[in-house]
Structure formats: structure tokens, C-alpha cells
Amino acid sequence: MPQNTEQTSNKFWLPLAFAFVLILGILLGIKLQKEVPVVPEQEGDSQVAIKPGKIEELLRYIEARYVDEVDRDELIQKAIDNLLKELDPHSTYIPSDQLKRINEQLDGNFEGIGIEFLIVEDTIVVIKPTENGPSDKAGIIAGDKIVSVGDSLIVGDKLNETNIIDSLRGAQGTSVKIGIVREGNPQIQYFEVVRDQIPILSVDAAYMLNNTTGYIKINRFSSTTHTEFLRSLEKMIDEDGLKKVVIDVRDNPGGYLQEATSILNQFFKDKNKLLVYTEGLNVHRSDYETTGNSFFDIEDIAVLVDEGSASASEILAGAIQDYDRGIIVGRRTFGKGLVQEQYNLSDDSAIRLTVARYYTPSGRSIQRNYENLEDYDDEISKRLESGELYNGEQLASADTTRYYTKDGRVVYGGGGIIPDVFVPLDSSKTNPYFSHLQPFIRTFIYKYFQANKPKLDDAPSIFNYRNLEDFVNNFEISDQVLANFENSIDDEKLLIEAKSVTNIESLTKLYLKARLAKHLYDDNGLYAVLNAEDDVVKKAVQIMEMPNPTAVLEKEE
């Protein structure tokens, strides 16, 4: 995704985001509940608010009579955690100090000064201010070094990313004085920046893969995703002649169900076509259907998925698959088919409680079995050990019930969406030693870009390329630049271990080039470079170039 303001520039996504999915996989179908829920007091119609009962009594006895001093809040936290563990993996408690940050990801905005930054040699460097954001309006530019926020100096080897973000963010309308050192001027300049709403984009990239096929990367389904998606789609249709689209939801942990169904609406002309339905013991069935208000004529669709694609991502893929509207390419999805509602508590914390399951149009539940929570949390490791991520023949569904797509193909539930076309995991990209090189790549390329960019708009530069396509096709990282990068790494042990990774030199050159492309062409550049060597993307494009892409989908007799 784009480097959201007040966040570090950490955008080298890898399939290592499995743990992130486990944390954020709760995000499907959240409905905010401001009122305390009511429950039956006893059999009959009488309804009362939930009362404290035995747990509160027990806490009073402990506080009044226990031999040692206890921390009441800590006891309550542990009691809540253990209680929710008895339910399912996605019913969770969110402490008040975390709730705002988590809600910001779903709301699609936060309040701050609007910069993307990187820590380079113990200094905060502005990579890019948000266009028309507070910092941009105040006059802060890319390359500025932030040395103070308010009355506090923020330089040195003890810089903490979280603390930096907290100091830059604040209530909308409040102002903060930012001290800047700019290239060519050793004196500190001060800028008064008025904080405002800053968008957190959920569409990372949108660009054309070829003359007819566009690519859209969605990192989560927030409240602005449908709008972002439509803008990206419309732009490529009007300016580039898009007719087909590849939607990338790999490593997308989910989000609002309605945002996924709104996107799906653009691919179906018919009205009242079932896209997904939800149902639970205490929640009546809710059907989400097409409206018939699709704005564009999209011919073919490919959805890219992997083991990090969860909940709303699986709704999108499941509906496309069930109606044979397009092809699903990649690896089996996470398998999260539970719906949560959020209940805000009196101390500004919240619980997200699973209230229903969702089902694809064919009737599939894709939720994995969670009777053994330890096995559930260790699912990705199990897939690695079994060889499933490298061999499509190892794919197996826990649910042997047969469901049928519109064209009569057999599909299964009970453990994620199984892709129509399997593409194995590139193990070199998940190697921990290579992942540890990423911060060095970011810092090196920033310096490389600063040293080689034109100082004036009309000055010559090594980056004189007509456009992104020209750059992707013709720019290469030289052996000398690679050697310079290796010499810049001050961790000799890491470098030795990283060099044991298969194909490490070509992989490092690819990511150096991708990071440079980001400086030149934003995140479209980053993804364009990486996708040019991405087997999943290449397979999708290959199939989409066929006269009838869904012809590759064979019926199982």
C-alpha cells in the first residue's frame, strides 16, 4: 500500500505477513454498536442490560481479602482474554490504547500532519508530503530532515518510530511547530503545521499491465475502498482503454463486507444476484445482492489470492469463482468466514464478537475448523511443512461436500478458497535473511536517488525515461550498484547469511530497482517492477490474453 503519512516507509511487502493476517483477520463485517446489547434475563420476553454477576463479585473479594496486592486492570484483562479464547479465534478484546489506531485503518483516515518519512542515519527524512495535506500546504518538501517537533529535538540513535508517529499525530485543527533542516541550508527552519484528516489509502497501486489489462492492488477493505477502486478503474478505462482487470488481494486480511460487495456489483449487470449471505444463531440471515448498477463494461477478471487473503478478500474471490465470472489465481486463501460486530465499552475499549458466518453464493462456508486453537494459529506453518504452498497437488479441503459453480464446476468449502490456477510460493522471497535486508535497501536507495536525481528540472539525470513502462523495461541495477549496496551493510554476518539465499543477487537487484521506481513513480512504480517478475501476475496475464480465459477452468465429473 502507499506509505501512509506519519508512517515509516516500509513498503517491501512479502508473503511474510501471515502473522499480520492472524491479528487483523477479525475485520470482516464489522458493525459498530454504540449501545450495550440486551440479553434475556430468563426465558420469556423480558430484556435487560448485561449485569456484572459473579466475575465482579470475585474481583471484589480478591481486592478486599487477597493476601497480596493485585492489579485489578491486569486481572480483568486476563479474564477477558481467557474468556474469549473459549469462543473462536476472531472474537477479540481491543484495549482503549489500541482501538483508535485499529479503527483508523478501517475508517480510511487519521488526524496528523501528512508526511511519509524514513529514518536515515538517525535522522527523520521526509520522503513525500501528502499532496495538498497540512505539511504540503505549510511548505515542507521531500528531502527535508525533521529535527524537532514542538519543543523536543528528535534526532539521534534512540529514535522510536512509534513515538515519532505519536508526536506528529494529533487532533484535527491543532497546530505543531516542525523544525526542518533543508539541503543547502544548515540553519533550522520552522514550520507551523495545522493537523487535519489524512487519508489512509486501501488501494496501493493501479496501472496498466498491457494495452487492455489493468492491475489494482487492494491492501484491505476500509470504508473508502469502493470509492478508491472506482476512481482507479474509471481512470484506466478513460485514459488507457482498460477492458480487463487483475485484482490483487494477496496478503489482504479483510475489512468491511459491504465494501467487497460494492466492488463485486461492478462486475454483474443483473439485479438481485446473491453475492454472499450471513447467518448466525442469534442473527437472522442477511443476503447481499447485486443492485444492477454497474458503471463499466469489464470483459474478463482475475483475482490474485494467497494464504494471507482473508474474510472480505475471500468474499470477493468466492463470488467471482461461484459465478465463473473470472479466474482465481494463486494459492489457497486463509479460510476466515466469521463475521464480527464491534461493541464499544465504557472505558473506550471494545470487543469484537463473532455473531455469524458468511456463505458464498453456492452455499460454501470457507471458515477453517478452530476446535484446536493452537493448530488454527499454526496453519500457515502446517501448509509450509506439508508442501502445499509449493505443490498444487497437495491442496485439500477439509470439507468434502460438493458445491457447484454457475457452469457446473465442483468447488469446496471448509478451509479457504482453492484457486482455479495454482502458482507456487517463491521461497526465496520469504527467506528471513533477505527480509532483514529490506531496511538497508530502503536507506541505500534513498541516498542513491538523492545523489543522482537532477538538481534542476532541466538538468541531466540517469533517470531520463519517458514513462514507467520505459523505466521497467530498460533500467537495470548494475553490478557496481549492487556491490556498493553490499558495502553499505554494516552487518557482516547478515550479509554472509543473505548470500546463502538462492538467486539472492538477482532478487536484491529487483528490490533495489523497485524501491527506486517508488521514488520516481510512487507505488505504481514499486508494484510495476515487482510484478514484472511475479509468477502469479504473469500467469494471470497469460490466461487473460486467451480469447476465453475461463476456458482453462475444467469441470470435475
SS3 of 366, please?
Answer: coil
Query: Which H or E run contains 247?
Result: strand 244-248
Distance CA 435, CA 70 (A): 42
Among 128, 217, 244, 336, the one annotated catalytic: 336
Collapsed DSSP state (helix, strand, coil) of residue 464: coil
Catalytic hit among 322, 426, 523, 534 = 322
Which of 196, 197, 191, 198 shows the shortest CA–CA distance to 150? 191
C-alpha cell read off for 324: 465463473
The number of residues in the chain equals 557
How many angstroms separate the CA atoms of 182 and 352, rounded? 46
CA-based max dimension of the chain: 81
CA distance 520 to 437: 21
> How far apart (Å, rounded) are the C-alpha atoms in residues 122 and 445?
16
How far apart CA 52 and CA 69 sit, in angstroms, is 23
382 flagged as catalytic: no
| Strands 203-208 and 213-218, bridge-based pairing | antiparallel
Tell me, what DSSP letter sits at residue 416?
Answer: S
Q: Are 334 and 25 in contact (CB under 8 A)?
A: yes
Amino acid at 404: Y
Is the CB of residue 447 less than 8 Å from the CB of residue 519? no
Burial 363-376, CB ≥16 within 10 A → b, else e:
ebbbbbebeeeeeb
Question: How many of the other CB atoms lie within 10 Å of CB of 248?
Answer: 28
Catalytic, 336? Answer yes
CA distances from 495 to 88, 375, 433, 505, 508 (A): 42, 34, 8, 12, 12
Q: Three-state secondary structure along 277-333?
A: EEEECCEEEEEEEEECCCCCCCCCEEEEECCCCCCHHHHHHHHHHHCCCCEEEECCC
Of residues 311, 333, 313, 207, the one with CA closest to residue 264: 313
Q: Active-site residue 107, yes or no?
A: no
What counts of helices (H) and strands (E) characterise the chain? 18, 25
3-state secondary structure of 53: coil
List, by residue number, the catalytic residues.
311, 322, 336
